[in-house]
């Protein structure tokens, strides 16, 4: 699926979107100072840890020498204690550096994804499941955070523990390098195989979680239908299937982690290294203290092995999450904001020239539509359900882009308009009204944030909403529920009308926007709409004869085609399709 990035909100900085690893790196390199701070802390932490077995071996040799030098032992004890204090500080630096990096990258990733989602077209949002989008915007972004802390935090720290035996073993005997070298090579190969096996599984885990979240969001969004149809048990069963699928993917991941080969390699390395050191001790090449120190250094190999069990899983999940996030961000087509395009004040002339439109590769929803509307005219669009009425008006402000032909506003192709300027002068009131969980005043002034309270009140009066708003205890400061569920259908639609009136658009589109208004209010609303239509081009999608009668022009759609156009009286005489609408 291709979706459009209509509006490109400036990023904090440019990122490389050619792949998840490149993208992650382009974010991480911006935090280089904290990563460098963390790497220095990680190396120093491992070095201070290596001091413990070295000093322990020296202490063994002093004790076994028969002439115990208490002062020397005390100095070694103080040296060991001091090294561990320094180690604690360095470990704090490592943890702080990676945690700070992780939080900053999560912030930037969330910003980049959110601004990208706001810029996507309605084609994208109509086809992309909300639940899956939410899963990517929350959990997948969080996985990117976990990839750095504890993921890379533990990995970098553990790899330094892997380096210390390679650096220090030769101080006892060069042959003792054999075991850590062989282990490191085999560990690298086993880890590569582990990551290759784990990568597709973690991708499946993230995809399964997205499907799980999609089903949850759909069930909650349609909770009225679920309860009204008594389908709670069936929804639980459907959700259960997604839960089981997610569980199976997690179990599969756990199975791969349980068969982690480096654990076996660690056992062989410790046994082989100890045997090698004991043979050298038997030959008189090593002392007891040297054997103790060497085995202590080999024991440091345990941290990278045990850390790998979960740290690399976090990294793999983070890469899978980044891939899913980037897949959303990268969905673009040629539809853009067209900055620098035509940006004059709109008169309201609209013309369709042989317009064809289809969603994706499907059959055309609209086919060869031709009509011309003069500035200030009121146009009623009628037709049976599915005839393409809503799709037609959505082409005017480029909610969707046409498949063929031309849509002209003021004689200029809408694709040549500056998209922001075009939409600022067109207001659409839909049948399904969306209101935010904020105050009534904020909802009315959403399209004009700098509106004064007097302007908001006047817009509400024009929409016949002022009276019921004043009936609330908090008046215009009343906070309404999500999507306006605390209001009736008629109240929601009157607030939407007030929002449109406040913007004062040059083209007003009413998509069956008075369907939920009671008969007592309808006459007032009709007068408000009639007054609002003066001086601006108005498109009304409706089946109400009272609204159709006073339209300057009526467009009759049938099966995606324009089958008739004219005024009410003429169409009643000449158009069978128009007469059938009212007879039905």
Tens of pLDDT, residues 269-317: 999 999 999 999 999 899 999 999 999 999 999 988 888 777 888 888 8
Place of tokens 């077995």: 53
Mean pLDDT to the nearest integer, 63-80: 84
Residue 530: closest CA among 516, 518, 457, 544: 544
Which residues of the chain does CATH 3.40.50.300 include?
350-583
Quote the tokens at residue 431.
Answer: 């049948």
Residue with the larger pLDDT of the pair 14 and 490: 14
Mean pLDDT to the nearest integer, 543-549: 74
Give the model's confidence band at 3: pLDDT under 50 very low, under 70 low, under 90 confident, else very high: very low
Whether the pLDDT of residue 228 is over 80: the answer is no
Mean pLDDT to the nearest integer, 226-253: 82
Residue 166: closest CA among 182, 181, 155: 181
Would you report the helix, strand and coil content of the chain in percent, each value rounded to 5? 65, 10, 25
6 Cβ neighbours under 8 A, 6+ residues apart = 119, 120, 121, 335, 336, 337, 398, 419
Whether the pLDDT of residue 4 is over 60: the answer is no
Quote the tokens at residue 446.
Answer: 């959403």
Percent of the chain with pLDDT over 70: 91
**Lowest-pLDDT choice from 50-59, 327-336, 455-464:** 327-336
Asked, as a colleague might, if the bond just before 150 is cis with ω within 30 of 0, I would say yes
Dihedrals φ, ψ of 16, to 5°? Answer: -90, 110
pTM to 2 decimal places: 0.72
pLDDT digits (tens, 9 = 90+) for 108-136: 999 999 888 887 776 677 777 777 888 88
Sign of CA dihedral 146, 147, 152, 155: positive
Place of tokens 């309860």: 227
Q: How far apart are the first and last CA of the chain?
A: 39
Q: What is the pLDDT of residue 373?
A: 92
Residue 102: closest CA among 49, 155, 47, 159: 155
Mean pLDDT to the nearest integer, 153-166: 91
Give the model's confidence band at 230: pLDDT under 50 very low, under 70 low, under 90 confident, else very high: confident
CATH 3.40.47.10 fits 20-329, yes or no: no
Q: What is the pLDDT of residue 2?
A: 46
Percent of the chain with pLDDT over 90: 33
Mean pLDDT to the nearest integer, 482-499: 75
**Lowest-pLDDT choice from 46-60, 173-187, 404-418, 497-511:** 497-511
Which residues of the chain does CATH 1.20.1560.10 include?
20-329
**Lowest-pLDDT choice from 193-207, 214-228, 351-365, 516-530:** 516-530
Residue-averaged pLDDT of the chain: 85
Whether the pLDDT of residue 420 is over 80: the answer is yes
The length of the chain in residues reads 584
SS3 554: strand
Q: What is the pLDDT of residue 513?
A: 58
pLDDT digits (tens, 9 = 90+) for 506-540: 898 888 755 555 566 666 666 667 766 777 898 98
pLDDT digits (tens, 9 = 90+) for 332-370: 655 667 778 888 899 999 999 999 998 767 778 899 999
Q: What is the pLDDT of residue 400?
A: 84
CATH topology of domain 350-583: Rossmann fold (3.40.50)
| Angle at CA of residue 25, ends 20 and 31, nearest 5° | 140
Please name every residue paired with 25 in a beta bridge, in sequence order, or none if there are none: none
């Amino acid at each position: 699926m291709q979706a459009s990035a209509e509006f490109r909100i400036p990023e904090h900085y440019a990122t490389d979107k050619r792949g998840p690893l490149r993208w992650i790196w382009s974010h991480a390199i911006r935090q280089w100072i904290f990563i460098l701070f963390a790497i220095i802390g990680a190396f120093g932490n491992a070095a201070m840890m290596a001091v413990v077995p070295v000093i322990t071996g020296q202490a063994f040799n002093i004790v076994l020498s028969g002439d115990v030098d208490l002062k020397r032992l005390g100095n070694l004890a103080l040296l060991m204690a001091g090294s561990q204090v320094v180690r604690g500080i360095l470990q704090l630096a490592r943890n702080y550096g990676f945690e700070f990096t992780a939080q900053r990258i999560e912030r930037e990733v969330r910003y980049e994804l959110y601004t990208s989602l706001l810029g996507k077209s309605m084609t994208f949002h109509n086809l992309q499941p909300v639940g899956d989008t939410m899963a990517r915007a929350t959990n997948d972004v969080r996985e990117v955070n976990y990839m750095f802390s504890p993921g890379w935090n533990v990995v970098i720290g553990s790899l330094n523990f892997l380096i210390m035996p390679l650096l220090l073993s030769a101080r006892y005997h060069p042959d003792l390098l054999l075991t850590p070298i062989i282990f490191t090579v085999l560990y690298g190969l086993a880890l590569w195989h582990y990551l290759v096996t784990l990568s597709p599984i973690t991708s499946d885990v993230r995809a399964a979680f997205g499907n799980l979240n999609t089903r949850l969001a759909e069930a909650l969004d349609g909770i009225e239908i679920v309860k009204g149809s008594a389908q709670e048990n069936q929804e639980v069963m459907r959700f259960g299937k997604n839960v089981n699928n997610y569980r199976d993917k997690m179990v599969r991941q756990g199975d791969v982690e349980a068969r982690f080969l480096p654990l076996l390699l660690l056992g062989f390395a410790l046994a082989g290294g100890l045997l090698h050191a004991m043979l050298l001790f038997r030959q008189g090449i090593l002392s007891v203290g040297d054997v103790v120190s060497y085995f202590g250094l080999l024991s440091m190999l345990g941290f990278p092995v045990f850390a790998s069990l979960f740290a690399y899983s976090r990294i793999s999940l983070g890469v899978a999450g980044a891939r899913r996030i980037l897949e959303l961000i990268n969905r673009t087509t040629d539809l853009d904001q067209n900055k620098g395009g035509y940006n004059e004040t709109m008169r309201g002339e609209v013309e369709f020239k042989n317009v064809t439109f289809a969603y994706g590769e499907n059959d055309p929803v609209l086919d060869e539509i031709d009509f011309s509307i003069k500035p200030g005219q009121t146009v009623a669009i009628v037709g049976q359900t599915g005839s393409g009425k809503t799709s037609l008006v959505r082409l005017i402000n480029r909610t969707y882009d046409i498949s063929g032909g031309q849509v002209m506003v003021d004689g200029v192709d809408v694709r040549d308009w500056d998209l922001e300027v075009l939409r600022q002068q067109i207001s659409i009131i839909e049948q399904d009204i969306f209101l935010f969980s904020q105050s009534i005043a904020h909802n009315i002034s959403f399209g004009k944030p700098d509106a004064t309270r007097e302007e908001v009140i006047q817009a509400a009066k024009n929409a016949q909403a002022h009276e019921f708003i004043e009936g609330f205890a908090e008046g215009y400061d009343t906070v309404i529920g999500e999507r306006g569920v605390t209001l009736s259908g008629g109240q929601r639609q009157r607030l939407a009308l007030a929002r449109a009136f406040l913007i004062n658009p040059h083209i007003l589109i009413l998509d069956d926007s008075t369907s939920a208004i009671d008969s007592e209010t309808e006459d007032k609303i009709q007068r408000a709409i009639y007054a609002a239509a003066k001086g601006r081009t108005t498109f009304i999608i409706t089946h109400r004869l009272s609204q159709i009668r006073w339209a300057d022009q009526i467009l009759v759609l049938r099966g995606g085609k324009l089958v008739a156009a004219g005024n009410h009286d003429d169409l009643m005489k000449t158009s069978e399709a128009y007469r059938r609408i009212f007879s039905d």
